[in-house]
A and B are shown apart, each in its own frame.
Chain A
Amino acid sequence: MKDINELKFPENVRYTRDHEWARLEGNIVIAGISDYAQDQLGDVVYVELPRIQDRFENGEVFGTVESVKAVSELFMPIAGEIVAINAELSDMPDVVNSDPYGAGWMIHIKPSDPAFMETLMTREAYLDMLKG
């Protein structure tokens, strides 16, 4: 596992306590797991994603991510409807490790309340949490 200082935490996304990231683009929220989460998990071998049109509350489980050493739940960063999933991950789950904020994105959410994004952690707040 890497030192926190070696991990990437972009400014242009928000973070959750469960280590998901979320970014508002237009009226859609794109979400995945943070560099810290993928580093903790190790090599990701499988990502189970929801179906398009599924609706979830904030904090609800929307899928699972499985690595060679653990299985973890994925939690909704914001309430809403799933409008797209990253189908590439079924063949190449390892992009979650190599590019967690880019090609490793997991879902597109149509949020029921886009303003809720403001309550998620900024880079600084997330780093503070990680450093305890």
Chain B
Amino acid sequence: MITMRYLPHTPEQIQQMLTVAGADSLESLFSGIPEECRRLQEMNLPEALSEWALNRHMDALSAGLAVSPEYKIFIGAGRYDHHIPATVSSLKSRSEFLTAYTPYQPEISQGTLQAIYEYQTLAARLMGVDVVTASHYDGATALSESLLMAIRKTRRKRVVLSSLIHPYYRRVAQTYLEPAGFEIIELPFLENGLTDLSLLEGAVDIAAVALQSPNFFGCIEDLKAGGQKAHEIGALFIVGFTEALAYGLLKSPGSQGADIVFGEGQSLGIPIAFGGPGLGMLGCTPEHTRNLPGRLVGKAKDMDGKNGFVLTLATREQHIRREKATSNICSNNSHCALTAAMYMASLGKSGFCDLAILNHDKAAYLCRGLSGAGFKMPFQGTFFNEFVVEFPEELETLYQRLLEKKIVAGLPLSAFYPELSHHYLLCVTETASREDMDALIREVTPCMNP
């Protein structure tokens, strides 16, 4: 069997490099690193596979997954199944775009810089803010960076997060903040599925108040009220989203008083894949622009007065400000941002709104159907394309049987909110047909009257 090597260096090349470096073995080369930080045993990995065997292995792995459209998946919860126009898939695959790296030099990077600038412009309109960065890894890191912005700006050390921000986002924020000595306070949720803002009254020394809308239960938060409460205690108001499409229909976070807006842009033409890559969207009002992390592209004029694009306000960044930089991560998910720009441009403003309305209408159809079949909707708030259903206990066994019929009947919430047993988060996008939804209602109805 032919086995492929995945490491580029031959033992001879490694020996050559060691000789140049003046080390007699790899161990002695790494001796400067404390022993407890080094891996002394071999890694516990199976033998390398041939290409054919590897393909078989990957096929077997993917056969164990529930993949749309084969499966009818009524789950969103941070990743949304949307149709991707063929124009987007085709354009984004052009080799000029695939070779993009940090465009330091405007002389040779006008195309990349213009693409980022157009993404920033479209994203800023969607989010209702003046400035948007070139992008970050994902919604979770964009949230964490916005919290750090508020901490720097207010010189305070505590931030308040709604417990209805995506649970994974909150974990990432914890990883960013807690080791650095910052405190995270969580706001509980009310019976109506919205964040309980009453704890904010009289709170002191809070750098930021962050809400997600639509929140993790799919409910639309009262952003105006949240912003008012945050500003009363001198905190910055941060608003985020996991479903960018919602803002084809809802008032933008910026227009509702958000100082900083973060979000996940996966819905904008990026495949769900295996949970990534995503698109971290982050923007703010002009007042906080100097505090933004990462890259920003601006429009400029050259010596002849012609328009051009350049990286701008780079003094915030690590290659100039070193340890005083606003972030030590200046990576940008450029190809995902490019995809999002192509997606938004392909749909256009009215197409984007129409699609958002379609998502809401379909979700409302399923919600009405389930409600008509007698299922309980615990949260009465307005939703976009996700909502919570309280199924009877019997659904647990039915859930498995439905999986065999290739229907995934929502996300059990008890894993994230132990008090919400038998509560399921359901999502409907434009990819679900009326037949799909009718089938789901038909299949779950028996557990209402077992």
Listed in ascending order, the chain A residues whose CB lies under 8 Å from chain B are 46, 48, 54, 66, 71, 73
In the complex with contacts A48-B290, A66-B315, A71-B155 CB distance below 8 A: no
A46/B324 in contact, CB under 8 A: no
The chain B residue sitting closest to A48, CB to CB, is B290
Residue numbers in A under 8 Å from B320 (CB-CB) = 71
Residue numbers in A under 8 Å from B324 (CB-CB) = 71, 73
B321/A46 in contact, CB under 8 A: no
- CB B328 to nearest CB in A, in angstroms, measures 16
Residue numbers in B under 8 Å from A71 (CB-CB) = 315, 320-321, 324
Q: Size of chain B's interface in residues, with CB distance under 8 A?
A: 6
In the A-B complex, the 9 residue pairs with the closest CB atoms: A71-B315, A66-B315, A71-B321, A48-B290, A46-B290, A71-B320, A54-B155, A71-B324, A73-B324
Within 8 A of A (CB), among B291-334: 315, 320-321, 324
Please, how many angstroms separate the alpha-carbon atoms of A46 and B286 in the complex? 14
The chain A residue sitting closest to B320, CB to CB, is A71
Q: Could you say which of A48, A54, A71 has the most chain B C-beta atoms within 10 Å of its C-beta? A: A71
Please, how many angstroms separate the alpha-carbon atoms of A54 and B155 in the complex? 10
Please, how many angstroms separate the alpha-carbon atoms of A73 and B321 in the complex? 11
Residue numbers in A under 8 Å from B315 (CB-CB) = 66, 71
CB<8 Å pairs between A and B, sample of 9: A46-B290, A48-B290, A54-B155, A66-B315, A71-B315, A71-B320, A71-B321, A71-B324, A73-B324
Majority secondary structure of chain A interface residues (helix, strand, loop or mixed) = strand
Residue numbers in B under 8 Å from A46 (CB-CB) = 290
The chain B residue sitting closest to A67, CB to CB, is B315
Residue numbers in B under 8 Å from A73 (CB-CB) = 324
- CB A1 to nearest CB in B, in angstroms, measures 20
Residue numbers in B under 8 Å from A54 (CB-CB) = 155
Besides A71-B315, A71-B321, 7 other A-B contacts (C-beta < 8 A): A46-B290, A48-B290, A54-B155, A66-B315, A71-B320, A71-B324, A73-B324
Please, how many angstroms separate the alpha-carbon atoms of A52 and B315 in the complex? 25
Residue numbers in A under 8 Å from B155 (CB-CB) = 54
Please, how many angstroms separate the alpha-carbon atoms of A46 and B324 in the complex? 16
Please, how many angstroms separate the alpha-carbon atoms of A54 and B324 in the complex? 20
The chain A residue sitting closest to B325, CB to CB, is A71
Residue numbers in A under 8 Å from B321 (CB-CB) = 71
Residue numbers in B under 8 Å from A48 (CB-CB) = 290
The chain B residue sitting closest to A46, CB to CB, is B290
- CB B310 to nearest CB in A, in angstroms, measures 13
- CB B399 to nearest CB in A, in angstroms, measures 54
Please, how many angstroms separate the alpha-carbon atoms of A127 and B164 in the complex? 60
Please, how many angstroms separate the alpha-carbon atoms of A66 and B316 in the complex? 10
Please, how many angstroms separate the alpha-carbon atoms of A107 and B155 in the complex? 18
- CB B130 to nearest CB in A, in angstroms, measures 15
Please, how many angstroms separate the alpha-carbon atoms of A100 and B143 in the complex? 39
Please, how many angstroms separate the alpha-carbon atoms of A121 and B449 in the complex? 88
- CB A90 to nearest CB in B, in angstroms, measures 10
Residue numbers in B under 8 Å from A66 (CB-CB) = 315
- CB B259 to nearest CB in A, in angstroms, measures 14
The chain A residue sitting closest to B153, CB to CB, is A51
Please, how many angstroms separate the alpha-carbon atoms of A54 and B320 in the complex? 27
Please, how many angstroms separate the alpha-carbon atoms of A66 and B290 in the complex? 11
Please, how many angstroms separate the alpha-carbon atoms of A54 and B33 in the complex? 43
- CB A71 to nearest CB in B, in angstroms, measures 5
The chain A residue sitting closest to B154, CB to CB, is A51
Within 8 A of A (CB), among B324-382: 324
Q: Scan B238-265; emit 1 where CB is below 8 A from any A CB, else 0.
A: 0000000000000000000000000000
The chain A residue sitting closest to B322, CB to CB, is A71
Please, how many angstroms separate the alpha-carbon atoms of A77 and B315 in the complex? 25
Please, how many angstroms separate the alpha-carbon atoms of A28 and B376 in the complex? 66
Please, how many angstroms separate the alpha-carbon atoms of A48 and B287 in the complex? 11
The chain A residue sitting closest to B287, CB to CB, is A90
Q: Could you say which of A46, A48, A54, A66 has the most chain B C-beta atoms within 10 Å of its C-beta? A: A66
Please, how many angstroms separate the alpha-carbon atoms of A71 and B320 in the complex? 8
Please, how many angstroms separate the alpha-carbon atoms of A50 and B406 in the complex? 59
- CB A5 to nearest CB in B, in angstroms, measures 31
Within 8 A of A (CB), among B146-174: 155
- CB A66 to nearest CB in B, in angstroms, measures 5
Within 8 A of A (CB), among B375-425: none
- CB A120 to nearest CB in B, in angstroms, measures 25
The chain A residue sitting closest to B321, CB to CB, is A71
Please, how many angstroms separate the alpha-carbon atoms of A48 and B313 in the complex? 13
Residue numbers in A under 8 Å from B290 (CB-CB) = 46, 48
Please, how many angstroms separate the alpha-carbon atoms of A66 and B325 in the complex? 13
Please, how many angstroms separate the alpha-carbon atoms of A24 and B315 in the complex? 33
Q: Could you say which of B155, B315, B324 has the most chain A C-beta atoms within 10 Å of its C-beta? A: B315
Please, how many angstroms separate the alpha-carbon atoms of A73 and B323 in the complex? 13
